[in-house]
Structure 1
Amino acid sequence: MTEAPPPEAPVEAAAPARGFWARFWDSDVFWSYRHNPVAVVSSLVALTLILAAVFAPWIAPHDPFNPATLQLMDGFTPPGEAAMSGTVYRFGTDDQGRDLLSTILYGSRVSLFVGFAATLFSMTLGVSLGLFAGYRGGLADTIIMRVADVQLSFPAILIALLIFGVAQGVIPPNKQESMAIWVLILAIGLANWAQFARTVRGAAMVERQKDYVSAARIMGVPGPAIAFKHVLPNVLGPVLVIATISLALAIIEEATLSYLGVGVPPTQPSLGTLIRIGQRFLFSGEWWILFFPALMLILLALSVNLLGDWLRDALNPKLRQ
């Protein structure tokens, strides 16, 4: 008599695939963020300041660039005191009677736009040149890296001043004011591309020796496709760190250039322009005209810089505790 076959073991149901947000919540980077109070506070400060600048037309108490709303008799009103018109300004007013809080919010929009655009431009240029130099090698690598070495031997602000001066000499006088912001973005971007290029070049030289690049070459994949589709995603970690820190530096460089009088025009003042205006009245007792724009610049640059430091530690396993 044949024995009955043993009962089959019950098949366990496969675990449901975890969603993106569940994987993100348990990732090492977000775990590091949740357990780093400095990163949490700095990100909240940076996000608050950026949103306040983006939504300035809706949250600012006044429009500082509308001449119909200006009250010259309200000029030099201290913070929290009632002006001659009866209006109370939280941050006081400047020499033209403009609400300083509204002016700072609108000025932050210009500084942030220049900072983000210049960082994006320098990152695109530096990553492209660094990837080309590291993957291709040879004479192209030598030329690009020697140019980067020469540029890194000078302060970025001097290079930006030189580029800005040359561009202003080429642009017709009747278009200089309308193109000043774009010239400023070009100058700051060209002054900061070398850091991206050197970092990406070093990482690309390591990646091009790996097996997956050799396999792609054997399969006949073109060189540019290998560089951008296979090598580039593996070198983006250091690029994000440099981009975050470069954003803070670009905002400071824009403020420095505007403070020196070679940045954005007075009709579109940034934080640097407001600081330059406030410096004229510092020793006459109107301290708030300089203090509040400078405080905004410090908070914005410091919070973004601290985020960059945290991101560097979170993406580098050797620096994790």
Structure 2
Amino acid sequence: MALISPPEKTTSSRRFRDSDLWYSFRRSPTALIAAAMIVLIVGAALLAPLIAPHDPFDLATVNLMDAQTPPMSVSLMGNYFALGSDIQGRDVLSTILYGSRTSLFVAVMATGFALIVGLTLGIVAGYFGGAWDSAIMRIVDVQLSFPAILIALLVFGVTRGFLPAATQDAAAVWVLIFSIGLSNWAQFARTVRGATLVERQKDYVSAAHMMGTGRFRILFGHILPNVISPVMVIATLGLAVAVIEEATLSYLGVGVPPTQASLGTLIRIGQQFLFSGEWWILFFPALVLVLLTLSVNLLGDWLRDALNPRLK
């Protein structure tokens, strides 16, 4: 008598490797290149203290005699700079690595904050309807009628005005995160609200009501997992928007203080020397910013198409 072997246990990683999403990712050269570029930039930023040739914030290692050294050349003090040095003698490559850490931290935290606020308000508006829906969606309509950068500027100025002058620079990054997040939650709320309106009419929600399941569990245990796909796409694209907004605010001088490096502050400093011949001070931070935002946008476009059932 032949023995029937028990079915092989399927792990989460095995299910992911067998999924259509992973298959689509492996078959998309654009997604592979974009993901590789993101991993490269994020990995270099996280490992900045270990791989940066110099510490741009250590005054003991900064020498004005190294200032304005062109890329791939040796300074008067005998130091080699692969991407050149700035007006203060800091290594441009090292400032980019440390600046990317700040920009990515602000973008990820701001996008996470916007996601939490928009997800919560959107699912409440779509599920309860009535006055909740009207109030939340009118706020969304008003906010979406203004450019996000103007809202971020307003929130940043008002929030910073409430802080004591001695703590403004120390809290600038967190104020920046709050400002960018508060200017981007509306798109999450509108998308989640529309998806919730569809999901609440389905049979599994009615069955949960009949079984006496609480509203909180229905909202976040049943409906939320079924509306998370479009949220992932918006969060990916919103990450690129947050990087641009941080760079814009820092470029305008109202974001990260000059004592902290970010891609925006590096670009603001570099543009002052663009027409005097030191083009590398601006070019390389701007190139990293473009590559990062372009890669995130391309990955978000692929994710949107991969999660769209109409394209399968």
TM-score > 0.5 by shorter chain: yes
Aligned to 2:52: 60
Question: What does residue 141 of structure 1 align with?
Answer: 133
Deviates more, 1:241-250 or 1:219-228: 219-228
- 1:177 counterpart letter in structure 2: D
1:88 and 2:85 aligned: no
Rounded Cα–Cα distance in structure 2 between residues aligned with 1:251 and 1:319:
29
Q: Residue 177 of structure 1 aligns with which residue?
A: 169
Quote the offset at 1:26 in angstroms.
1.7
Shift of 1:11: 6.1
State yes or no: 1:200 paired with 2:192. yes
Q: Taking structure 1 as the reference length, what is the TM-score of the superposition? A: 0.95
My pick for the range that moved more, 218-227 or 193-202, is: 218-227
CA distance in 2, matches of 1:28, 1:221: 33
Where structure 1 has 5 or more consecutive residues not aligned to the other structure, the ranges are 1-8
Which residue of the other structure, out of 209, 216, 221, is the alignment partner of 1:229?
221
Supply the distance in 1 between the matched residues of 2:125 and 2:28 (Cα, whole angstroms). Answer: 37
How far apart are the structure 2 equivalents of 1:169 and 1:23?
A: 51
Q: Give the drift of 1:119.
A: 0.2
Q: CA deviation at 1:151?
A: 0.4
Question: Match of 1:203, as an amino acid?
Answer: A
Deviations 1:202-221, CA, capped at 9 Å, x for gaps = 11111111111111111111
Matched to 1:240, the amino acid is: M
1:244 aligns with 2:244: no
Residue identity matched to 2:131: L
CA distance in 2, matches of 1:210, 1:233: 14
- Please give the secondary structure, in 2, of the residue aligned with 1:263: coil
| Structure 2 unaligned blocks of 5 or more | none
Give the whole-Å Cα distance in 1 for the aligned partners of 2:4 and 2:269: 72
Q: Aligned with 1:209: secondary structure? A: coil
Residue of structure 2 in register with 1:129 after alignment: 121
Q: Give the Cα separation in 1 of the matches to 2:62 and 2:177.
A: 30
- Give the aligned partner of residue 247 of structure 2: 255
Match of 2:99 in 1: 107
| Distance in 2 between residues matched to 1:86 and 1:148, nearest whole Å | 57
Counterpart for residue 6 of structure 1: none
Q: Indicate the SS of the match to 2:80.
A: coil
Distance (Å, rounded) in 2 between the aligned partners of 1:17 and 1:169: 58
Matched AA of 1:285: G
Task: Note the alpha carbon deviations across 1:2-57, whole angstroms, 9 max, x for none.
Answer: xxxxxxx8564343233333322221000000000000000000001001001100
Cα offset for 1:171? 1.0
| Counterpart-to-counterpart distance in 2, 1:26 and 1:149 | 41
| Structure-2 residue corresponding to 1:318 | 310
| 1:209 matched residue in structure 2 | 201
Separation in 2, partners of 1:20, 1:232:
20
> In structure 2, how many angstroms separate the alpha carbons of the residues matched to 1:220 and 1:139?
24
Which is further off, 213-222 or 33-42? 213-222
Aligned partner of 1:20 in structure 2 is 12
SS in 1 for 2:299: helix
Alignment of 1:152 with 2:144, yes or no, is yes
Q: Which residue of 2 aligns with 1:280?
A: 272
Determine what percentage of the aligned residue pairs are the same residue. 62
RMSD: 1.0
* Structure-1 separation of matches of 2:208 and 2:9: 30
Which digits, 9 at most, give the CA deviation of each residue in 1:189-246, with x for residues without a partner?
Answer: 0000000000000111111111111111111111121101100000000000000000
Partner-residue secondary structure (3-state), 1:51: helix
Give the distance between the partners of 2:44 and 2:2, measured in 1 at CA: 58
| Equivalent residue, structure 1, for 2:68 | 76
Measured in 1, the distance between the counterparts of 2:83 and 2:230 equals 40
Q: Does 1:51 align with 2:27?
A: no
User: Which residue identity lines up with residue 261 of structure 1 in the other structure?
Assistant: G
Deviation at 1:168, TM superposition (A): 1.5
Shift of 1:148: 0.3
Helix, strand or coil for the counterpart of 1:158? helix
| TM-score w.r.t. length of structure 2 | 0.98
**Paired amino acid for 1:219:** M
Pairing 1:34-49 to 2, within 5 Å after superposition: 34-49=26-41
Shift of 1:169: 1.2
2:206 partner letter: S
Name the structure 1 match of 2:110: 118
